[in-house]
Copies of this chain bind each other. A is one copy, B any other.
Amino acid sequence: MHCGKRLQGIGGRVTKHDRSKTAQPRPASIAAVAHRAGVSIATVSRVMNGIENKASSETASRVMAAVESLGYRPQSVGRALRQRESRIVGVLAANLGNPAMAAAAASIELALRDAGFVMALCDTHEDAGIQDEYLAEMEAQLARGIVLLVAVPSPKLDALRAAGRPLIFVNRRDPGAEDSTFVGIDDHAAGRAVAEHWLAKGETGPFGLLHASLAFSAGRHRAAGYLGRLAEAGIDEGSIAHATGPGRHHLEIGYIGMARLLEATPRPRRILCLSDLIAYGVYRCLVERGVSVPGEIELFGFDDNPLNAWIAPWLSAVRIPYEIFGTAVVASLAALIDEGRATTALLNHELVIRGGSPRGPARDVMSQASRIILETKSPGA
Q: Residues of A at under 8 Å CB distance from B?
A: 2-22, 24-27, 73-78, 80-81, 84, 86, 88, 96-97, 99, 102-103, 105-106, 109-110, 113, 118-123, 133, 136-137, 139-142, 163-165, 179, 251, 280-281, 283-284, 287-290, 292, 306-307, 309-313, 319, 321, 324, 328, 331, 335, 339-348, 350-354, 358-362, 364-367, 370, 372, 374, 377
A97 contacts which of B306, B345, B364, B372 (Cβ < 8 Å)? B306
Identify 26 residue pairs between A and B in the complex whose beta-carbon atoms are under 8 Å apart, listed by A's number. A4-B309, A4-B354, A5-B352, A5-B365, A6-B352, A11-B348, A12-B328, A13-B345, A14-B343, A16-B341, A21-B164, A21-B340, A25-B163, A26-B84, A73-B139, A73-B140, A74-B140, A76-B140, A88-B120, A96-B102, A97-B103, A97-B106, A105-B121, A284-B311, A287-B362, A358-B358
User: A121–B119 Cα gap in the complex (Å)?
Assistant: 7
Specify the chain B residue showing the minimal Cβ separation from A136: B73
Contact B120 A118 (CB under 8 A): yes
Given contacts A137-B118, A362-B288, contact A15 B343 (CB under 8 A): yes
Which B-chain residue is minimally distant from A343 (CB atoms)?
A: B16
From A254, which residue of chain B is reached at the shortest CB distance? Answer: B310
**Stoichiometry (number of copies):** 2
State which of B21, B77, B306 has its C-beta within 8 Å of the C-beta of A339.
Answer: B21
Which residue from B7, B109, B141, B353 sits with its C-beta under 8 Å from A372?
Answer: B7
A342 touches B19 (CB 8 A): yes
Q: A309 to B318, alpha carbons, bound, how many Å?
A: 23
Chain B contacts of A10 at CB under 8 A?
A: 321, 324, 347-348
Out of B103, B121, B164, B361, name the residue touching A22 (CB < 8 Å): B164
**A347 to chain B: which residues have CB within 8 Å?**
10-12
